[in-house]
Amino acid sequence: DIQTLRLSVSQLEKGGYPHFMLKEIYEQPNTIFDCIRGRVVNNATEIKLSGVIDHSDRFINARRIIIVACGTSWHAALIGQRLLQDIARIPTSVEYASEFRYSNPVLTSDDIVIAISQSGETADTLAAIKLARENGAFVYGVCNVVGSSIARETDTGTYIHVGPEIGVASTKAFTGQVTVLAMLALAVAQLRGTISQEKLSEFSRSIEQLPSLIKETLKLNDAIEKLSSTYTYVRNFLYLGRGYNYPSALEGALKLKEISYIHAEGYPAAEMKHGPIALIDREMPTVVIAPSDELHEKIISNIQQVKARGGSVIAIVTRGDTTIPEIADHTLEIPPVPEALSPIIVSIPLQLLAYHIAVMKGCNVDMPRNLAKSVTVE
Amino acid sequence: DIQTLRLSVSQLEKGGYPHFMLKEIYEQPNTIFDCIRGRVVNNATEIKLSGVIDHSDRFINARRIIIVACGTSWHAALIGQRLLQDIARIPTSVEYASEFRYSNPVLTSDDIVIAISQSGETADTLAAIKLARENGAFVYGVCNVVGSSIARETDTGTYIHVGPEIGVASTKAFTGQVTVLAMLALAVAQLRGTISQEKLSEFSRSIEQLPSLIKETLKLNDAIEKLSSTYTYVRNFLYLGRGYNYPSALEGALKLKEISYIHAEGYPAAEMKHGPIALIDREMPTVVIAPSDELHEKIISNIQQVKARGGSVIAIVTRGDTTIPEIADHTLEIPPVPEALSPIIVSIPLQLLAYHIAVMKGCNVDMPRNLAKSVTVE
């Protein structure tokens, strides 16, 4: 018996997935494996990034780091800021590339500018790099596309190595960027002596576990697809997170905005009471990123405030959390992961939530209206 | 003939205005006059802030400034960052107080932490100050309420002196904060020799002119009241600005959010194409802050992009602009003002727009739902 297989070229490219975005979400156990391969080395006792090794004096003497980026990469930058400050103890700030390029920054040759861009072609980021170099700063690139303009225009850098990203809404590039920034913080900390060998090994082993943790987290897909139908006709969404997951809230909101055209906005959870809480009612649900960390009690209180005002809550919690499932409308459990790496795991349910809501709304998730994959114009 | 005057105590307190918020908006020519009085001195050749004079060594040797704040004060902080970098040439970053307090900041005794709070009682900002002092930083307060906790817990500081603010949505405190930060940047620049006497005098004279420029800008009230009726039933709004007015966009959006419960979001204009532009359609209007500055051409292009996608545009432009009125749906003209001070003038139409839309929606503008005037809890 000959069976005819009906598949178009585009279906083949999508590897059986209905959209590139879903394929790319599911690729993440592999892309993160590729991203860390050869970089977490010697039985997880060492982080090896050639860009850091070749320019160790720059990192040892760094007075300040400024990260420039746009869009999703800007959210990765905010997580990178926290990683570099916490682990490598270098004062770090983040700027929108489009703002930085037209500012008059205070830069010296002791400063490091890190530029993040998936495509390596983002016009504003390229212009920011040019300005940084003119001012004598050392420029480190974090991009995906090998040989791209940013890779060529920077002094050195680290590729995220997650393979071509086709979906306009970035998924695997984001998790790759955060993973590179975590490794960068560790490599620099190693150089500067701001981390013990024990802590370095522990953190490195956690990085090695990311692919399997992502794989486990992807099992949330069916539950997320199911709950998504409840929110298809919602017009506004709030996303809240704290600490390392405040940028996750921004990124989760951006994903939904990009592909479902729902007006979603991210906020640091504690800022809710300085304005956004006025918006909360039955028509505006809130996604709360609430892993079990030091600030767990605070975020429980945020959830209670939303509930008290009639809002519904989708909470992302750590497996075993018994408090939040009792007050939230929907709970999504992720496996335990160190706080500094949690944005990578948290991003999986956020990507899937945006994806399923957009698909149910009938949106073109791979090519959302008005958006380009790489913004090569100002 | 005896005429009976029918006025309640609350009406008397409101000075004849229907709401405290409108009264406070209209007070700004006077409050800014009070704010600068005795500080721009010697025929505008000198800025005199005792907090800077008494601690000149701290400012001369400052390695870095970190501004901590919440809500509206956080927006003033973003403008302050730009002022301090541009004029005093000190690397400056901004943190949400609620995030900073639970972070592990890289701080030394060469760092200055500036804390901004209208009430001087904001719990997160107080906790951030405590952490900064424990880490040896010098802490400078910018508050309104004399003798408040923040005024007492900081090393020194500058009061904004705008009088009691009753409306929950901050108006005159915001313009006072920005005015103080502009004077602070100038005073520090004077000390550090990063500004010429000529430029200092020019800038100081512009500060002295702010009260009359605000007075002139308030004449927009009737036009804004009229156009507000068009937007009463809108559920989502986008606010865009660049450079000094990117924070103005955030603050304009927050005002609308707080008192009208419309989901308004601010963005740096160039970031629009990295996501928010997907939201634009006939149901989501955009407020574009587009004064005639170096980036005027760029922002015209942003307006064209919004129009091309069917969105309507309310533009705030400099008097004499002939291009934007031809493409925007509504144009509000402000008088010419130096770019670094433009957020103060721009905030007047943004405050009035939020006010009139909220009043037309029947909202309680002075006491919006779910919000407190001063957030003294976490």
Nearest-by-CA chain A residue for B238:
A263
Residue B54, pLDDT > 90, answer: yes
Residue A372, pLDDT > 80, answer: yes
**CA contacts within 13 A on the Cβ side of A177:** 35
Record: contact A270-B124, CB cut-off 8 A: yes
Min Cα–Cα distance to chain A from B186, Å: 16
Residue with tokens 């970035």: A170
Q: pLDDT band for position A268 (50/70/90)?
A: very high
Backbone φ and ψ of A63, nearest 5°: -90, -35
Backbone φ and ψ of A206, nearest 5°: -65, -40
* Average pLDDT of the residues in B100-111: 94
Record: contact A375-B263, CB cut-off 8 A: no
Min Cα–Cα distance to chain B from A6, Å: 34
Output the pLDDT for position A32. Answer: 98
Min Cα–Cα distance to chain A from B183, Å: 19
Cβ atoms of A180 and A187 within 8 Å: the answer is no
Cβ atoms of B143 and B172 within 8 Å: the answer is no
Among candidate residues B322, B324, B278, B320, the one with its CA nearest the CA of residue B298: B324
Residue with tokens 């500080």: B39
Q: pLDDT band for position A11 (50/70/90)?
A: low
Min Cα–Cα distance to chain A from B2, Å: 46
Q: What is the pLDDT of residues A143-157, one digit of tens each?
A: 999 999 999 999 999
Pick B70's closest partner by Cβ from A263, A271, A298.
Answer: A271
Q: What is the pLDDT of residues B60-85, one digit of tens each?
A: 999 999 999 999 999 999 999 999 99
Record: contact A91-B64, CB cut-off 8 A: yes
Grouping H, G, I as helix, E, B as strand and the rest as coil, residue A160 is coil
Please report residues of B whose CB lies closer than 8 A to that of A309: 370
CA dist., res. B164 & res. B4, Å (int): 30
Pick B85's closest partner by Cβ from A102, A106, A274.
Answer: A106
CA dist., res. A102 & res. A162, Å (int): 31
Grouping H, G, I as helix, E, B as strand and the rest as coil, residue B344 is helix
Output the pLDDT for position A295. Answer: 87
Is the C-alpha dihedral spanning B328, B331, B337, B341 positive or negative? negative
Pick A271's closest partner by Cβ from B93, B98, B261.
Answer: B98
Nearest-by-CA chain A residue for B376:
A273
Q: pLDDT band for position A57 (50/70/90)?
A: very high
Between the alpha carbon of residue B356 and those of residues A16, A83, B12, B124, B308, the distances in Å are: 53, 44, 21, 31, 28
Residue A3, pLDDT > 80, answer: no
ipTM of the complex: 0.95
Nearest-by-CA chain A residue for B373:
A274
B84, B370, B375: which to substitute to probe chain A, counting the most A Cβ within 10 Å?
B370
Cβ neighbors of B91 (< 8 A, separation 6 or more) are A64, A91, A93, A106, B63, B64, B65, B85
Q: pLDDT band for position B1 (50/70/90)?
A: low
How are beta strands B330-334 and B286-290 bridged, if at all?
unpaired
How are beta strands A46-47 and B111-117 bridged, if at all?
unpaired
Min Cα–Cα distance to chain A from B279, Å: 5
Q: What is the pLDDT of residues B291-327, one digit of tens each?
A: 998 889 999 999 999 999 999 999 999 999 999 999 9
CA dist., res. B64 & res. B58, Å (int): 11
Please report residues of B whose CB lies closer than 8 A to that of A275: 71, 254, 257-258, 371
Cβ neighbors of A70 (< 8 A, separation 6 or more) are A96, A97, A98, A117, A122, A124, A125, A375, B270, B271, B274
Min Cα–Cα distance to chain A from B107, Å: 8
Nearest-by-CA chain A residue for B246:
A99
Record: contact A99-B375, CB cut-off 8 A: no
Q: Percent of chain B beyond pLDDT 90?
A: 89
Grouping H, G, I as helix, E, B as strand and the rest as coil, residue B112 is strand
Q: What is the pLDDT of residues B336-350, one digit of tens each?
A: 999 999 999 999 999
Among candidate residues B124, B118, B111, the one with its CA nearest the CA of residue B141: B118
Output the pLDDT for position A1. Answer: 62
Strand order in the sheet with B286-290: B263-268, B236-241, B286-290, B313-318, B330-334
Output the pLDDT for position B13. Answer: 82
Pick A275's closest partner by Cβ from B89, B96, B257.
Answer: B257
Grouping H, G, I as helix, E, B as strand and the rest as coil, residue B122 is coil
Grouping H, G, I as helix, E, B as strand and the rest as coil, residue B37 is coil
B246, B263, B367: which to substitute to probe chain A, counting the most A Cβ within 10 Å?
B263
Residue A8, pLDDT > 70, answer: no
- Across chain B, mean pLDDT equals 95
Written as six digits, the tokens of B219 are 């004449």
Burial of A105 from C-beta contacts in 10 A (0-12 / 13-18 / 19+) = buried
Among candidate residues A182, A37, A174, the one with its CA nearest the CA of residue A117: A174
Which residues sit opposite A67 in a β-bridge? A94, A114
Strand order in the sheet with A138-143: A92-96, A64-69, A111-117, A138-143, A156-159
Q: pLDDT band for position A373 (50/70/90)?
A: confident
Cβ neighbors of A374 (< 8 A, separation 6 or more) are A118, A119, A121, A122
Q: Percent of chain A beyond pLDDT 90?
A: 89
Q: Which has more confidence, A341 or A278?
A: A341
Among candidate residues B163, B210, B154, B162, the one with its CA nearest the CA of residue B182: B210
Between the alpha carbon of residue B314 and those of residues B224, B303, B329, B331, the distances in Å are: 10, 9, 6, 6
Record: contact B378-A280, CB cut-off 8 A: no
> Length of chain B, please?
378
Q: Percent of chain A beyond pLDDT 70?
A: 97
Cβ atoms of A86 and A113 within 8 Å: the answer is no
* Average pLDDT of the residues in A47-55: 97
Establish, for the pair of chains A and B, how many residue pairs have beta carbons separated by less than 8 Å: 156
Written as six digits, the tokens of B17 are 């205005």
Residue B6, pLDDT > 70, answer: no
Grouping H, G, I as helix, E, B as strand and the rest as coil, residue B102 is coil
B66, B94, B106: which to substitute to probe chain A, counting the most A Cβ within 10 Å?
B106
Please report residues of A whose CB lies closer than 8 A to that of B257: 275-276, 278-279
Tell me the residue type at A145. V
Min Cα–Cα distance to chain A from B80, Å: 14
Record: contact A263-B263, CB cut-off 8 A: yes
Q: Which has more confidence, A311 or B368?
A: A311
Min Cα–Cα distance to chain A from B304, Å: 13
Record: contact A375-B274, CB cut-off 8 A: yes
Record: contact B278-A85, CB cut-off 8 A: no
Record: contact B263-A236, CB cut-off 8 A: yes
Q: What is the pLDDT of residues B121-172, one digit of tens each?
A: 999 999 999 999 999 999 999 999 999 999 999 999 999 999 999 999 999 9
Pick B70's closest partner by Cβ from A103, A274, A309.
Answer: A274
- The DSSP secondary-structure symbol of B273 reads G
Nearest-by-CA chain A residue for B305:
A370
The total of other beta-carbon atoms located within 10 Å of residue A43's CB is: 10
Min Cα–Cα distance to chain B from A134, Å: 17
Record: contact A371-B257, CB cut-off 8 A: no
Written as six digits, the tokens of B64 are 């870095």
CA dist., res. B149 & res. B145, Å (int): 9
Written as six digits, the tokens of B134 are 């424990």
Among candidate residues B290, B351, B350, the one with its CA nearest the CA of residue B320: B290
Residue A5, pLDDT > 70, answer: no
Q: What is the pLDDT of residues A156-206, one digit of tens each?
A: 999 999 999 999 999 999 999 999 999 999 999 999 999 999 999 999 999
Out of A142-146, B327-331, B347-351, B370-374, least confident range = B370-374
Strand order in the sheet with B156-159: B92-96, B64-69, B111-117, B138-143, B156-159
